[in-house]
Amino acid sequence: MRIIFKLTFIVFGLGLIAFMLFLDSQPEQFITQEQPEESPTIGDDEPSYIEENEEATGEEPEEKIMKEVEQVESEEVIADSQDGLSDGETVEIEHANPFHTLIGEASDELVSLYGEPDRVEPSQYGYEWFVWNRDDLYLQAGIQGGSIVTIYTNLPNNQTEPFEIGESYDHLASTWNFEREITITNDYQFNLSPKEIRTNPIIEVDGVWVQLYIDTFDQELSSIRYIDGDTVVLHQPYSLIYKGSLPEKPTLTESEWEQVEKGMARQVFDLTNHFRQKHGLDPLDWDEDTSAVAFGHSKDMRDNAYFSHHSPTHGDLGERLTNGGVQYQRAAENIAARYVDAGAAMEGWLNSEGHRVNLMNEDLTHLGVGVHRDFYTQNFMTPW
């Protein structure tokens, strides 16, 4: 009996050990999170455009002549004074280190090249944007704790190597391996759709992540974002599978959000004018009253959970501009939502036929931009 008991005990013990080894060999459970809650979007197929509007007389005009411009179906994309150099002074950057090698370095590396930034603006991700905006330079550098965590640019610069703004997509695709699955620190795996491979692939260069934004109409590199792994995960620009937990984004007060939103609005304005400059068009002038109307529409869309050029309570673009005291001849509107920041939203618009028409319209002279959280509105207009 004792022998039988001992054998039973030994068999049970061996079975328990085998079961524990089996459990230990199983991979940790991953959590799938689709690309941020809802995919980024840039509005409906026909961005709002008003061809003519009667001159305001202080009274409600009897009739407004409004004509919608036919638009080709747009693709939905799945996200002052200078304190630095004096006028005429240039910076020798021919032998400066490439941007991707500056990620993780001190912000002084950029200040020594370009002087003090033209603006410093907060972001919703915990870093500050150092912004250099000049005729031949547009650069946003995310600075956290004195170190560079991301750099974004859309103008040619020697420091973008091994890439070149304006480089063809075909050349990029033949030189670099655009993968559908990207793993960061073994805990986070991003899955890119075929559309994202064509519009915004991401690759690793010397331990730094690089997002390449493609102008799908010109089939060339439009802008570049250099970024460290932690900040990519914070942005969550693609569908994500992860284990463990996600990093928490900073909790901002209303006043902090207000400053972030003003910064993003100004960035959209700058990027719009650089895009126009690239295509030989005159820059647009900033209009404060129109910006207030644009902000009101972004806030209205987010607060009331809709996404349209027509507000259930404030009407269409013409009604909103008129009620905002804006006297205009022509007007147009682009809207976007759920992009990670101003640069990403701008890339979404320029890759949509209808929205691109508004960006490049030679008959529009002024622009107001309003951002509320991750809702973006551009209101273009020509005043009387």
Query: 111-152, pLDDT tens digit by residue?
Result: 999 999 999 999 999 999 999 999 889 999 999 999 999 999
Give Cβ neighbours of residue 260 (< 8 Å, ≥ 6 apart). 121, 122, 123, 124, 252
* Alpha carbon distance 162, 76 (integer Å): 29
Q: According to the model, what pLDDT value does residue 57 have?
A: 35
Position with higher pLDDT, 53 vs 57: 53
Contact 382, 365 (CB under 8 A): yes
* Alpha carbon distance 367, 377 (integer Å): 10
Q: According to the model, what pLDDT value does residue 24 have?
A: 45
Dihedral Cα 312, 314, 320, 323, nearest 10 deg: 160
Q: How many helices (H) and strands (E) does the chain have?
A: 10, 16
* Alpha carbon distance 154, 171 (integer Å): 18
Q: According to the model, what pLDDT value does residue 59 have?
A: 37
Give Cβ neighbours of residue 80 (< 8 Å, ≥ 6 apart). 118, 119
Sheet arrangement for strand 128-134: 119-122, 128-134, 137-144, 147-153, 220-227, 208-215, 202-205
Q: According to the model, what pLDDT value does residue 89 have?
A: 45
Q: How far apart are the first and last CA of the chain?
A: 106
> What is the arithmetic mean of pLDDT over 177-195?
95
- The helix-helix angle for 342-350 and 254-278 (nearest 10°) equals 40
Q: What tens digit of pLDDT does each residue of 221-261 get? A: 999 999 999 999 999 999 999 999 999 999 999 999 999 99
* Model confidence band, residue 63 (pLDDT cutoffs 50, 70, 90): very low
> Over 70: is that where the pLDDT of 379 sits?
yes
Express as a percent the part of the chain with pLDDT over 70.
Answer: 76
Give Cβ neighbours of residue 249 (< 8 Å, ≥ 6 apart). 124, 125, 126, 234
What is this structure's pTM?
Answer: 0.82
* Alpha carbon distance 355, 86 (integer Å): 36
> What is the arithmetic mean of pLDDT over 157-169?
96
Q: According to the model, what pLDDT value does residue 53 have?
A: 62
Question: Is the previous residue joined to 162 through a cis bond, with omega within 30 degrees of 0?
Answer: yes
Q: What is the mean pLDDT of the chain?
A: 84
> What is the arithmetic mean of pLDDT over 212-228?
98
User: Where do the H-state alpha helices sit in 247-382?
Assistant: 254-278, 288-303, 317-323, 342-350, 353-359
> Over 90: is that where the pLDDT of 154 sits?
yes
Express as a percent the part of the chain with pLDDT over 90.
Answer: 73
Q: What tens digit of pLDDT does each residue of 2-47 get? A: 555 555 555 555 555 554 444 344 444 445 554 444 567 766 545 6
* Model confidence band, residue 96 (pLDDT cutoffs 50, 70, 90): confident
* Alpha carbon distance 245, 333 (integer Å): 39
* Alpha carbon distance 366, 380 (integer Å): 6
Q: According to the model, what pLDDT value does residue 81 have?
A: 30
114 three-state secondary structure: helix
> Over 90: is that where the pLDDT of 211 sits?
yes
> What is the arithmetic mean of pLDDT over 313-325?
97
131 three-state secondary structure: strand
Q: According to the model, what pLDDT value does residue 186 have?
A: 85
Position with higher pLDDT, 74 vs 242: 242
- For residue 370, CA distances in Å to 188, 283, 367, 377 come to 33, 18, 10, 5
Q: According to the model, what pLDDT value does residue 230 have?
A: 96
264: which 2 tokens? 């993003």
Q: According to the model, what pLDDT value does residue 135 have?
A: 87
What does the DSSP 8-state code read for residue 160? G
Classify the C-alpha dihedral 283-286-287-293 as positive or negative: positive
